[in-house]
Amino acid sequence: MQDVTLIGIDLGKHSFHLHGQDACGKAVFRKKFTRKQLITFLATFHPCTVVMEACAGAHHMARHLMSLGHTVKLINPQFVRPFVKGNKNDFIDAEAICEAASRPNMRFVAPRTEAQQVLSALHRVRESLVRERVKATNQIHGFLLEFGISLPTGPAIINRLPSVLAEYPLPARLMSILERLHAHYKYLSEQIGEVEKDLARQLHEDDLGQRLLAVPGVGPITASLLSAELGDGKQYGCGRDFAASVGLVPRQYSTGGRPNLLGISKRGDKNLRRLLVQCARAFMQRIDKHTGTLADWVRSMLTRRHSNIVACALANKLARTVWALAARHTEYKATQKSMTA
């Protein structure tokens, strides 16, 4: 066992499959443990490199194993899949994880802190609540349209729905259904408000989040999510790598020496990408009120490209700016256009 340098773990809910190999890549052991047995085994094992897929429970396990003195690396599951040989089972998956981690150019995922995981959970809860509120709104509009009532869109009309419905003769049972949906809508709005207050409190205590608020177009929700997902930014070599991980770069399909660039790749976290694009659109909507090099660049792009293309390009630029603030521990300073006589 002393010659083991790399351990691959196939994570499960209750069972964990381990594959250990030496520096030459030769298999030394294969073991199956429960969660408690795994911690006991690795607590007494000599320090080595432990590799896992970045999936549910991986970040908590990574923090625990690092406290035991091991070097922990997390790999995106899509990079492990090509190394699975033959039929698939848990031991073969653990071996594939070791094989993927042995590649010299493999990209790894940085383990998250507890604070980052809590922020990420809050954002997922908020996103789920927003979807439920939209669903309730669509049901209200749909039921009323079945009875020939077409209401304007927007939250204002839903907030004063009882007074609006008093103007129309509707069946009593339908009114009861609409009242339930309206009560559910108000409950969801209250829950979203509470989550956003919690996010605002955590953002107020976060140094990186406060610095991100200075970036044009970036609001509290986006700054909070960026702080949770980006961390210190050291897992990315440069700002372009971070923009590529979010999916804000062209998808390439080149062959024969002829470059062929398609639309954006849409890789990574779609919620983060959507928020960055919305930040870009918010900046573009108020472009007349902005000055400086960035605003001049956007105006120049709008004269040559469609607004959707400009929004994605600006979102890419914002992503690179955000990475620079996180990785270099700096503050955003708008570059003003130099004036010449």
- pLDDT tens across the length of the chain (341 residues): 778 899 999 999 899 999 999 888 888 889 999 999 999 999 999 999 999 999 888 999 999 999 999 999 999 998 999 999 888 899 999 999 999 999 988 888 888 888 888 888 999 999 999 999 999 999 999 999 998 888 888 888 888 888 888 888 888 899 999 999 999 999 999 999 999 999 988 888 888 888 999 898 899 999 999 988 888 888 888 889 889 888 988 888 888 888 888 888 888 888 899 999 999 999 999 888 888 888 899 999 999 999 999 999 999 999 999 999 988 888 888 765 533 32
Neighbours of 111 (CB within 10 A): 22
CA–CA distance, 203 with 232 (Å, rounded to integer)? 15
- 110 SS3 class: coil
Nearest-10 Cα torsion for 88, 90, 94, 100:
30
Q: Residue 72 carries which side chain, given as an amino acid letter?
A: V
Burial class (CB in 10 A: 0-12, 13-18, 19+), 328: exposed
Element at 195 (helix H, strand E): helix 172-204
Which tokens go with 42?
Answer: 């690795």
Q: Is the pTM of this model over 0.75?
A: yes
